[in-house]
Amino acid sequence: MPAGVIARRPADAPNDSREAGTSLRFPSREDESRRERLTDGLPEVRPCNEVSSVVSRTGLGRFVIVAACTAVFAIAGVGLFVVVPESLTQLFGILLALAVVVIGIRIAGNIARSVFPGYNVAEVAVDGPISRDGGGGPLPSSPSATPADDIVDQIDRANEDGNVDALLVKLNTPGGEVVPSDDIRLAAERFDGPTIAYTTDLCASGGYWIASGCDELWARDASIVGSIGVIGSRVNATGLAEKVGLSYERFAAGDFKDAGTPLKEMDDDERAYLQGLIDDYYETFVERVSDGRDIDAELVRETEARIYLGEDAHEMGLVDELGTKRDLEDELADRLAIDDVTIEEFEPPQPLMRRVGGGAQQVAYAFGAGISGIAEDRGFRLRT
């Protein structure tokens, strides 16, 4: 039979024929009709060659940069440490060349990530007690605090990044110092775009202060939320001082300069003075929450600094939505009108020792900031 010619079955040929021991049957009209009924309504299956893998512009750009920089550093390493210095042994030169290649790959990776960023949402985490410099408590077991200035810097950096369309503020904190908490809140308010705070475990006191600067607050059903209040504390060591023979001798200008000093008893005027500071901070806290979260101020006062489970907080209006982080990401993708969100964690640079010790978990936080911390020798302490 000539090549390219297709043999047709004669009209009177039987359906069953045999060739080389293999049973062949030509499809009849009934078979074709049956196939059409079975496949009717099924989605169209495209050929495999139409389902081709698509290399994204971002991935391709990163690959090109990494490959080019790797080649450059490899050539430079071989040239500097193998070919040129004849006095060096070849093995030592090869080792140095390999080291240069490794360094070059890391540098190329950083360049590729900066030129072709693969993220569109920034995440900044507030973990642990909030303080100005991030110092922990007086004992090694005290959890290290969140450095407010570093958090503010990362939020501002995300705001200046043209690739960031939204900001997530991860809150896992019992609270902390008043002014540092307010600085983080102000930074969240400055962000130009959707700002969503979410908590998985604990968002209390100063953490809720920060959340009042965000557009929404998400939580889990069992998250701890609330503790909208301010606390001041001091250690009264006068009895101990008397037992060991210590006495307090005052040198001060101003009647309230040493109010709250642990080695002397407070009089009624000093106590009223310090309580007035607490009340002023509390009213500021209520105002921030009422304005930022659009909650009636009287409702905030009625909480009386209690903590609530996320489900109860949601029913009260203290939390906007309940869900997992995946639920939050899906919701955010819908709002941004994109298929998926890619999150980049914005973190401040950390020294080596802090990175090494970061894996060790500290002692669990107390619920909110309503429980006094370990006493320090600084006299009267004020925090959210």
- Taking 50 as the pLDDT cut, the residues of the chain under it are 1-24, 38, 42-55, 138-142, 352, 356, 358-378
What's residue 63's pLDDT? 74
Q: Do 101 and 191 share a structural domain? A: no
Q: Do 297 and 261 share a structural domain? A: yes
CATH number, domain containing residue 168? 3.90.226.10
Q: Do 91 and 138 share a structural domain? A: no
Q: Is 233 a catalytic site residue?
A: no
Q: What is the pLDDT of residues 75-85, one digit of tens each?
A: 766 665 555 55
What's residue 367's pLDDT? 43
What's residue 24's pLDDT? 47
Residue 7 lies in a domain: no
| pTM metric for this prediction | 0.65
Q: What is the pLDDT of residues 319-336, one digit of tens each?
A: 999 999 999 999 999 998
Q: Do 222 and 81 share a structural domain? A: no
Residue 303 lies in a domain: yes
User: Which residue among 205, 212, 223, 227 is the active-site one?
Assistant: 205
- Kindly report the three-state secondary structure assignment for every residue of the chain: CCCCCCCCCCCCCCCEEEECCEEEECCCHHHHHHHHHHHCCCCCCCCHHHCCCCCCHHHHHHHHHHHHHHHHHHHHHHHHHHHCCCCCCHHHHHHHHHHHHHHHHHHHHHHHHHHCCCCCEEEEEEECCEECCCCCCCCCCCCCCEEHHHHHHHHHHHHHCCCCCEEEEEEEECCECHHHHHHHHHHHHHCCCCEEEEECCEEECHHHHHHCCCCEEEECCCCEEECCCCEEECCCCHHHHHHHCCCCCCCCCCCCCCCCCCCCCCCHHHHHHHHHHHHHHHHHHHHHHHHHHCCCHHHHHHCCCCEEEHHHHHHHCCCCEECCHHHHHHHHHHHHCCCCCCEEECCCCCCHHHHHHCCCCCCCCCCCCCCCCCCCCCCCEEEC
What's residue 19's pLDDT? 42
Q: Do 96 and 235 share a structural domain? A: no
Domain range for 96: 57-115
Q: Is 325 a catalytic site residue?
A: no
What's residue 40's pLDDT? 54
Residue 276 lies in a domain: yes
Number of domains in the chain: 2
Q: Do 189 and 336 share a structural domain? A: yes
Q: Do 244 and 160 share a structural domain? A: yes
Residue 42 lies in a domain: no
Residue 308 lies in a domain: yes
Q: Do 93 and 206 share a structural domain? A: no
What's residue 80's pLDDT? 59
User: Which residue among 17, 28, 141, 257 is the active-site one?
Assistant: 257
What's residue 306's pLDDT? 95
